[in-house]
Chain A
Amino acid sequence: MNRPFLIYGLSGLCLGGLILLALSLGVAGFGWGDHHTLLILRAPRVVAALAAGLALGVGGGAQQGLFRNPLADPGLTGVFGGALAGIAVLLTFQSEIAWRQTSVLPLAAFGGALLASVALVILGNNKSPGRLLLTGLGINAFTAAIVIVLATLSPTSRELLTNGAYGDWLGLAAFRFTWLPCTLCVIASLCLFRFGTAWDYLSFGPEVAQTLGINLLRTQRWSILLTALAAAAATCLVGQIAFIGLLAPHLARTLIGPRHRLMLPLAGILGATLLLAADTAGRTLWTSTPLSAAGVMALIGAPLFIWIARQHHV
């Protein structure tokens, strides 16, 4: 039996089953519920979790491929932080436009994510793997500080921003707002698949990659632009969420090997599965006090992160 085929089949089945489960589980218990519950409450939330999870898994794998660092993850390197800070700036200074124009929020998030990515490349790249992560840590702390300061300044958006920082926005999902970020998640992920071979060659060092015909500057620019877009779109849907971008590609590599063309789509499927599972568990296990998807993810993800870090001797 063809192993990649089997793994894709099984993970697809898992995800399909999980989608059905997520659609049929709610505060009222098990069941499809009425038309309103299914289509207005649950479906947008499930679609948002799937799209964001896809973008997180693929974006994480892309960032790891570009930086040649198994511990790179947009949540840890400050790119999500940048996206949230961009949203915070918009909500604080131009909140009326943000609610009238649905396209403005993703744009602000994209601006913030791109700024954070460029800072990461300029300050932390091409040295040691540790330096990249330390720089990301600094950017993360700085963007978090921006969000805290802005949330303090604007009482109207304080609750929204705090929920975003906790990764608790999936509950707000409504197709009216989420169709654009969802579409952007899918587009960014599909575009990122194209760079698989370039990141494979980069594994052997930038010099070998270049002599094999890769235009390094163009690859770097497009990878950063597209990972920032994926991170920004996912942030608009979920808020801040770490570890999926780290775990999904790592699991995919363990299951199917490190070749990016084969691994990245699986990382996307696994990212969607992880986020939907975390969100569904968070909202149904304790219905009186629902947990955010990011909270559930961090509970499982943080110990796994330490395990991966130990494996790679970073």
Chain B
Amino acid sequence: MSNPLVQLTAVSLEIKGRRILDGVSLTAHAGEIVSLLGPNGAGKSTLLKTIAGLLPQATGTLHVHEHDPRTTSPATLAAQRVYAPQNPQSTWDYRLSDLPILLHPRIASIDWFAHFQLAGLMSKKFSELSGGEQKAAHLAFSLSSLGDPYQKIILWDEPTNGLDLSRQHLVRTTLTQLAQAGACVLVATHDLTLAYATTQTAVLEEGRLIAYGRPQATLTPEIIQSTWGIDLSLLASK
């Protein structure tokens, strides 16, 4: 098997005395899609940001593309991975047609804006779009900055959040296409449909990785009961 693109060993992080990540070890290769699941505050977003290189105070061993993201320059990292936050924002009211220009001279082989059903909205400003359309625009912006997805790392925080069913489906198929093109994808999500479309599922609880493997094998009634406190047998009997 090829070298892993993401390799974490005993990664921990404390912010203001609170332990957000607690000894997380995780490996992901090109062609894999890893979904990070867990209750609110379990550390999913923090783990994504740590891999993205946004939290240099994290401890443990981190290898992303054979670099340590805590000490590598932003420009080097930018050529290897993209990150899209949970609640994207924009201070200035750009038109969608501005976004590809902002990324110049990066060249995307695919028109990701058209891919996310935004082709007819390119002359609109952010403020004229719905929340879901804005989210889709940020995802398209993120992928446009990536270039060729081969051997790249995609870090998306709740990509299906706020999207309609059609665009949710689009996100799932897009992630599969990206993985097939040689990318390594990590998504934090509460969306179980999305989790079942991934190749690996990591369940986090209070900063610890409590289960990791194929989603069908990981999301067992026992794990769901212990992590979220939901008894699936009760739900089924109703």
- Chain A positions within 8 Å of B, measured between CB atoms, are 68-70, 197, 200-205, 207-208, 210-216, 253, 257-259
Interface presence of B27 (CB below 8 A)? no
Please state if A259 and B89 are interface contacts (CB–CB under 8 Å): no
Q: How far is the CB of B16 from chain A (nearest CB, A)?
A: 16
Please state if B102 and A259 are interface contacts (CB–CB under 8 Å): yes
Q: How far is the CB of B24 from chain A (nearest CB, A)?
A: 20
Q: Which chain B residues border A70 with CB–CB below 8 Å?
A: 91
Interface hub of A70, A211, A212, A257 (most chain B Cβ within 10 A): A211
Q: Which chain A residues border B138 with CB–CB below 8 Å?
A: 204
Please state if A210 and B88 are interface contacts (CB–CB under 8 Å): no
- One of B70-78, B189-197, B214-222, B226-234 at the interface: B70-78
Please state if B77 and A211 are interface contacts (CB–CB under 8 Å): yes
- Which of A203, A204, A207 meets B49, CB within 8 Å? A207
- Count how many pairs of residues, one from A and one from B, have CB atoms less than 8 Å apart in the complex: 66
Please state if A208 and B94 are interface contacts (CB–CB under 8 Å): no
Cα–Cα, bound, A197→B73 (Å): 18
Q: How far is the CB of A257 from chain B (nearest CB, A)?
A: 6
Chain A interface SS verdict (over half): loop
Please state if B94 and A259 are interface contacts (CB–CB under 8 Å): yes
- One of B30-38, B79-87, B169-177, B201-209 at the interface: B79-87
Cα–Cα, bound, A201→B138 (Å): 12
Q: Which chain A residues border B91 with CB–CB below 8 Å?
A: 68-70, 202-203
Cα–Cα, bound, A212→B82 (Å): 7
- Chain B positions within 8 Å of A, measured between CB atoms, are 49, 52-54, 73-75, 77-79, 81-85, 88-95, 98, 101-102, 138, 141, 145
Q: How far is the CB of A111 from chain B (nearest CB, A)?
A: 30
Given contacts A203-B90, A213-B74, contact A208 B83 (CB under 8 A): yes
Q: How far is the CB of B72 from chain A (nearest CB, A)?
A: 11
Please state if B145 and A259 are interface contacts (CB–CB under 8 Å): no
Q: How far is the CB of B13 from chain A (nearest CB, A)?
A: 15
Q: How far is the CB of B159 from chain A (nearest CB, A)?
A: 14
Interface hub of A197, A253, A258 (most chain B Cβ within 10 A): A258
Cα–Cα, bound, A204→B95 (Å): 13
Cα–Cα, bound, A212→B77 (Å): 8
Q: Which chain B residues border A207 with CB–CB below 8 Å?
A: 49, 52, 54, 83, 85
Please state if B78 and A212 are interface contacts (CB–CB under 8 Å): yes
Cα–Cα, bound, A248→B10 (Å): 52
Please state if A257 and B95 are interface contacts (CB–CB under 8 Å): yes
Q: Which chain A residues border B93 with CB–CB below 8 Å?
A: 258
- Which of A203, A211, A215, A216 meets B92, CB within 8 Å? A203
Please state if A200 and B54 are interface contacts (CB–CB under 8 Å): no
Cα–Cα, bound, A252→B83 (Å): 31
Q: Which chain B residues border A210 with CB–CB below 8 Å?
A: 53-54, 74
